[in-house]
Chains A and B, each alone.
Chain A
Amino acid sequence: MLSPDILLAGTINGLLTGAIYVLVAVGLTLIYGVLHIINFAHGSLLMLAMYAAFFLWRSTGIDPYLALPLVAAGGFALGYVLYRCVIGRLSRGKDENILLVTLGLAIVIENAALFFFGGDTRTVEVSWAAETVEVGPAFLPLAKLVSFAAALALCAALGLYIARSDTGKAIRAVARERQGARLVGIDVEATFAISYGIGIACLGAAACLLIPSFYVAPTSGHAFVLVAFTIVVLGGMGSFLGALVGGFVVGVTESLGGLLLGESLGQIGIPLIFILILLLRPAGLFGSRA
């Protein structure tokens, strides 16, 4: 029953969905690449950013796309402060403590959202979100085309920023060799906080691009956590190009897996890629060997 048309449409769907994953994973890969920690609060911070986009839309009618710079800036501020005041301070540089702190933060954030916003599903209704563009056999949702373009742009911008700017150079130096960076006079703690902030700012952007075609509830960050980890590992921890390619690979695998194996069993594609890549090429597609 699977005609080439469907497979083609499924592949395109996978690429568009993958773009959303890229947006979530870019922040995670930056945080991992620099801090070498697994940020368990990533999903709940994404959820928080989606609520920000939702409430901005509901109270002032601002389209989530226009709110993007605002939410991203808010994400940066929150991430910076969170690292400076909580994660960095309480973890005392021990990686396993950072893990536990981000875990605790995730619990706090999720239940604070439940307490303040309630548990019901919120959606943003903007007229163009229902629009589609017909391409061959597929109806492509406009919202997803936009996020596709945005994912490419964001990765490029971030890559350039890290490669060219002074801050970017400091981030790279810290990522490679903490002690050495400290010796040449880089404020390592501040660089960590900035990196964490940028990572969360990416989540802010992702949230604004995601919400028109999704929904938000206190637990809706969970849906993206394992996917984001998979992409980060697949692409190589710390690599933006890797996150970009990894996101598309995961999106297409999930999409075709769902078509061929069924939506439920098809989910197995993601952890399987994850396992295979770790066993065969643990540094990922674009990572340097750790």
Chain B
Amino acid sequence: MSARAATAALLAAALVYPLLFFGDGAWLVRSNYAIDVGMLALFAAFLGQSWNVAGGFAGLTSFGHVLFFGTGAYCSTILHVGHGVNPWFGWVAATTAGAALGAAVGHLTFRVGLRGSYFALITLAFAETFRVLANSVGFTRGGLGILIPLDQRAAALQFHDPIWFYYLALALCASGLAIAWWLTRSRFGTYLAAIRENEDAARALGIDVVRQKVRCLALSGAMAAAGGTFYAQKYLYIDPSIAFGVDRSVEMLLVAMIGGAGTVFGPLVGAGAVVALGEATRALSDARGLGLILYGLLLVAIVGFLPNGLVGLVRAARRDA
């Protein structure tokens, strides 16, 4: 099967999937749970893709990507709850804010030449700074968090039926895939790959390394911020630890790395595996923590036995065939 056919099949499957479970006319069985899990996987894939754009394609390994996620969530929520701005517009504003923040962080860090684990750690510190600020300043309501009023209309970016959040997540995920695909084709993507492989050589070739990296982080930040708004509108409550908690940063890099960093489909495959693993291990055991022990062990096993991620496994199988 060619890559194009596989992609089309995948997209068709994702479009049809909720119809199997939705409403009285469900083709298979009515199950909002199945739709919810599908939505979570697509959403995790999108966030993973945002990490992948920077961490995978350009080698900008970040431990603090939740910085952009939380900024997006707070941006649209404060505009909506505090200033009455429609969340659809808020979403645009949040995405822009994410891009601006990405550019700002990139500008600060890349100009002084931070890379590798130094860059990873500084993003972690930025995320923590934002968490402390959100916890302390007035306009975020500090630790009280912000509750978005219940208003289940599409115009208010809230939906009564989970299927619409599913399709919204699918749209995000598809746009993420398109961006990643574009990175494999465009000149910009080539620059990033050159920088990832050997920064000094890239510079010698005349690539403006700092500028390209800043652009890349801005793109990645915009994506994560868009994810933040989606989350806020789905769950209608954010506080500093939900918005800027380190767990989500870890999850973003996890799905990309498990799936295969720097590949177009890595985050999607990784998110599918991580979400399925999470649901399955949670369902298998009542005992406190036992499901998560299993989850952690499987994670270690995947890393140990599939050094190039799950996508690498597929590639190897195709090469053998």
Contact = CB atoms under 8 A, between A and B. Distances in A.
Nearest to A93: B307
Nearest to A106: B296
Contacts of A226: 124-125, 128, 246
A229 B128 CA distance: 12
A114 interface: yes
Contact of B132 (A114, A229, A264): A264
A101 B109 contact: no
Tell me the dominant secondary structure on chain B's binding face.
Answer: helix
A220 interface: no
A271 interface: yes
B16 interface: no
Interface string A271-290: 11011001110100000001
Contacts of A114: 288-289
A271 B61 contact: no
B112 interface: yes
Given A100-B303, A101-B303, A115-B290, A271 B132 contact: yes
Interface stretch (B39-47, B81-89, B114-122, B145-153): B114-122
Contacts of B290: 111, 115
Contacts of B121: 38, 229, 233, 274, 278
B61 A96 contact: yes
B303 A97 contact: yes
Given A105-B296, A107-B295, A262-B136, A275 B126 contact: yes
Interface residues of B, number: 43
B114 A105 contact: no
A112 B108 CA distance: 41
Contacts of A96: 61, 257, 261
B300 interface: yes
A110 B122 CA distance: 25
Given A103-B250, A226-B128, A274-B121, A115 B287 contact: yes
A278 B292 CA distance: 35
Interface string A69-97: 00000000000000000100111101011
A38 B249 CA distance: 15
Contacts of A107: 292-293, 295-296, 299
Contacts of A111: 289-290, 292-293, 296
A111 B293 CA distance: 6
B133 A101 contact: no
Contacts of B112: 279-280, 282
Interface string A186-201: 0000000000000000
A118 B299 CA distance: 23
Contacts of A92: 307
Contact of A108 (B143, B293, B303, B307): B293
A96 B61 CA distance: 9
Given A108-B300, A115-B289, A278 B257 contact: no
Interface string A119-163: 100000000000000000000000000000000000000000000
A90 B267 CA distance: 21
A104 interface: yes
B283 interface: no
Contacts of A105: 296, 300
A226 B126 CA distance: 12
Given A96-B257, A229-B121, A262-B136, 15 more contacts: A90-B304, A103-B250, A103-B254, A104-B299, A105-B296, A108-B296, A108-B300, A111-B296, A218-B289, A271-B129, A272-B129, A275-B122, A278-B122, A279-B122, A280-B112
Interface of B: 61, 108-109, 112-114, 117-118, 120-122, 124-126, 128-129, 132-133, 135-136, 142-143, 246, 250, 254, 257-258, 261, 287-290, 292-293, 295-297, 299-300, 303-305, 307
23 contacts: A38-B117, A38-B120, A38-B121, A89-B304, A90-B300, A92-B307, A96-B261, A103-B254, A104-B303, A107-B295, A107-B299, A112-B289, A229-B124, A265-B135, A268-B129, A268-B136, A274-B122, A275-B122, A278-B109, A279-B108, A279-B109, A280-B112, A282-B113
Shortest 5 CB-CB contacts between residues of A and residues of B:
A90-B304, A107-B296, A111-B289, A108-B296, A114-B289
